[in-house]
Amino acid sequence: MSAVQFKEERLLQIIEAPIISEKSTLVADKNEQVVFRVAVDATKPEIKAAVELVFKVQVESVQTVNVKGKVKRSGRFMGRRKAIKKAYVSLAPGQEINFAAGE
């Protein structure tokens, strides 16, 4: 599947933010993967097409994880944080996305 089959407006809304943490940095160095927070209803082919469109890189595979929101309380009131979806995107050999560079 390619970016042609999906609407460009939809693809630009799928990627919400890169996740930059100790775990994601370790994964990036070890497996040549990048971790993104994506829309909860995004599919793997949509995520692949969106990353290829936005960052101009070749994507080999995508693994996703649904993270449930934590239950938190403030005084006597209980609440829940929003659930998110993470995407672990494997890049083709020799490809990389540099978030530190001011592009």
Convert the pLDDT of each residue in 64-96 to its tens digit: 999 999 999 999 999 999 999 999 999 988 888
Q: What percent of the chain has pLDDT over 90?
A: 68
The residue that leads in pLDDT, 62 or 102, is 62
Q: Does domain 3-91 bear CATH number 1.10.1740.10?
A: no
pTM of the model: 0.83
**What is the signed CA dihedral for 91, 95, 100, 103, rounded to 10 degrees?**
-110
Where are the domains positioned within the chain?
3-91
CB under 8 A, 24+ apart: contacts of 17-25 = 18/97, 18/99, 19/86, 20/99
